[in-house]
């Protein structure tokens, strides 16, 4: 492939990624995918996947290109599918439209596709290039890839704290630590997530709704609301259980009681998880959520559950909002980590720091290899 051709592909892939990002709040559980059709280096059609059940990006881009698709190149952020899911295979649509060349950022990790789309295109005589924009395209769909490649959602743990890393007032009064801009940002993270999870302690002390209250996508897609409540101690009237799709995880021995307590709420599903040190088995929770097609999991919880996620090394991204105030040593900590924790291998790498109103948001990604954590590296 000549250098100018590669530059045209790269530009088109950047555009396809921009298009894919439009589906950030709506495609779940499907991936965000964009597609550009190029004819003699010019864009003749664009498309992006909006919502599961609606056409895939390639089909919309082909529709936009019409007859100009014959002999053209399709640049797409994910391998075109070869299966019939809620919609027919994109590979067949590309072949039928007479596409001559396909550039895709990465393979589709869904086992129903997983290279089969590319094989079908090649068998039809279409040239296929895989790889340009792979990092960015994967970055748009961390949960979709995590679900198929690791059998679990992509986990983001959100914490809000004072400068001295305290997460609530010492007198436990119910008052916000961070300001409105930070809370609006939390709404956007919830809106892109397949599920939002908290613990029984937070439900009892804060009674959060954990829903999306700003318009992201039309209509607003509410994430599944999940509560980890080993002893079934949360009141069935808690706000998190009102208004629909909620999942309550309890320990096996509390299952019957919890099911009886929620018998009158069809929107609340109650399931058991094995117990683990001090709570429920978080790894088992993630496996179950992957089976429920949760791609991105947003965790907002108190210090004990936060510590469990961190100590179990199940956090992929840590998002901390720091408010410019000090709350003192009597206030609860950011995460109630055990005394020996500093020797554990998990550590984080700073990704980004940004102001939201008067608060500072710090984003970190998990680094699990011990060498990365050691001071020499
Ligand atoms: C593509 N282009 O724009 C998307 C793809 O139920 P369906 O028919 O919507 O199929 C969903 C699966 O299709 C999804 O799990 C993923 O493997 C692929 N998504 N593929 O060629 C697209 N959104
Ligand atoms: Zn498709």
Q: Provide the residues around ligand 2 (an ion) whose CB is within 5 A.
A: 56, 81, 90
Question: Ligand 1, atom 20: nearest CA belongs to which residue?
Answer: 81
pTM reported for the whole predicted model: 0.94
Residue 130's contacts (CB-CB under 8 Å, 6 or more residues apart) are 79, 104, 105, 106, 107, 118
How far apart CA 64 and CA 34 sit, in angstroms, is 13
Query: Domain 6-140 is in which class?
Result: alpha beta
Cis peptide before 162 (omega within 30 of 0): no
Look at residues 362, 311, 358 and name the one whose alpha carbon lies nearest to residue 339: 311
Q: Which residues line ligand 1 (CB under 6 A)?
A: 30-31, 33, 49, 52, 56-58, 78, 80-81, 85-87, 90, 108, 110, 113
Residue 280: beta bridge partners?
Answer: 275
Please report which ligand is nearest the Cα atom of 74: 1
How far apart CA 294 and CA 141 sit, in angstroms, is 12
How many CB atoms neighbour CB 216 within 10 A?
16
Backbone angles phi, psi at 66, to 5 degrees: 60, -135
- The domain limits of the chain are 6-140, 143-373
Q: Give the Å distance between the CA of 56 and the centre of ligand 2.
A: 5
Q: Give the Å distance between the CA of 218 and the centre of ligand 1.
A: 20
Q: Tens-digit pLDDT profile for the chain (377 aa)? A: 445 688 888 999 999 999 999 999 999 999 999 999 999 989 999 999 999 999 999 999 999 999 999 999 999 999 999 999 888 899 999 999 999 999 999 999 999 999 999 999 999 999 999 999 999 999 999 999 999 999 999 999 999 999 999 988 888 777 788 999 999 999 999 999 999 999 999 999 889 899 898 777 776 789 999 999 999 999 999 999 997 799 999 999 999 999 999 998 889 999 999 999 889 999 999 999 999 999 999 999 999 999 999 999 999 999 999 999 998 888 888 888 888 887 666 789 999 999 999 999 999 999 866 545 555 44
Q: Give the Å distance between the CA of 97 and the centre of ligand 2.
A: 14
Please report which ligand is nearest the Cα atom of 77: 1
Residue 125's contacts (CB-CB under 8 Å, 6 or more residues apart) are none
CB distance 245 to 195 below 8 Å: no
Cis peptide before 218 (omega within 30 of 0): no
| Rg, Å, the chain Cα set | 23
Q: 3-state SS of 141-203?
A: CHHHHHHHHHCCCEEEEEEEEECCCECCCCCCCCCCCCCHHHHHHHHHHHHHCCEEEEEHHHH
What residues act catalytically?
Answer: 58
CATH of 143-373, one of 3.30.1490.20, 3.40.430.10, 3.40.50.10790, 3.30.450.20: 3.40.430.10
């Amino acid at each position: 492939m000549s250098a100018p051709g590669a530059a045209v592909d790269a530009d088109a892939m950047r555009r396809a990624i921009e298009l894919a990002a439009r589906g950030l709040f709506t495609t779940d559980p499907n991936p965000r995918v964009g597609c550009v059709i190029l004819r003699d280096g010019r864009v003749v059609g664009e498309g992006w996947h909006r919502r599961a059940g609606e056409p895939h990006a390639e089909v919309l881009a082909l529709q936009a290109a019409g007859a100009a698709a014959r002999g053209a190149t399709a640049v797409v952020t994910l391998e075109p599918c070869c299966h019939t899911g809620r919609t027919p295979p994109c590979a067949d649509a590309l072949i039928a439209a007479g596409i001559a060349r396909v550039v895709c950022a990465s393979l589709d990790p869904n086992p129903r596709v997983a290279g089969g789309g590319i094989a079908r295109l090649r068998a039809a005589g279409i040239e296929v290039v895989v790889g340009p924009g792979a990092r960015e395209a994967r970055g748009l769909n961390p949960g979709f890839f995590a679900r198929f490649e690791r059998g679990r959602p992509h986990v983001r743990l959100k914490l809000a704290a004072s400068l001295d890393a305290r997460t609530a007032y010492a007198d436990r009064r119910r008052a916000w630590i961070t300001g409105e801009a930070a809370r609006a940002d939390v709404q956007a993270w919830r809106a892109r997530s397949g599920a939002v999870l908290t613990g029984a302690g937070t439900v009892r002390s804060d009674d959060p709704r954990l829903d999306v209250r700003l318009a992201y996508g039309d209509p607003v897609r509410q994430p599944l609301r999940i509560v980890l409540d080993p002893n079934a101690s949360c009141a069935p009237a808690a706000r998190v259980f009102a208004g629909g799709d909620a999942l309550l995880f309890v320990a096996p021995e509390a299952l019957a009681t919890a099911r009886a307590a929620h018998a009158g709420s069809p929107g609340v599903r109650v399931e058991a998880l094995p117990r683990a040190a001090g709570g429920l088995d978080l790894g088992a929770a993630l496996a179950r959520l992957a089976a429920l097609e949760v791609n991105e999991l947003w965790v907002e919880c108190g210090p004990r559950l936060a510590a469990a996620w961190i100590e179990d090394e199940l956090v992929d991204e840590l998002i901390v909002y720091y408010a410019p105030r000090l709350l003192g040593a009597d206030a609860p900590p950011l995460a109630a980590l055990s005394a020996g924790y500093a020797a554990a291998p998990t550590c984080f790498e700073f990704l980004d720091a940004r102001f939201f109103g008067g608060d500072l948001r710090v984003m970190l990604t998990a680094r699990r290899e011990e060498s990365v954590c050691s001071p020499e590296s």
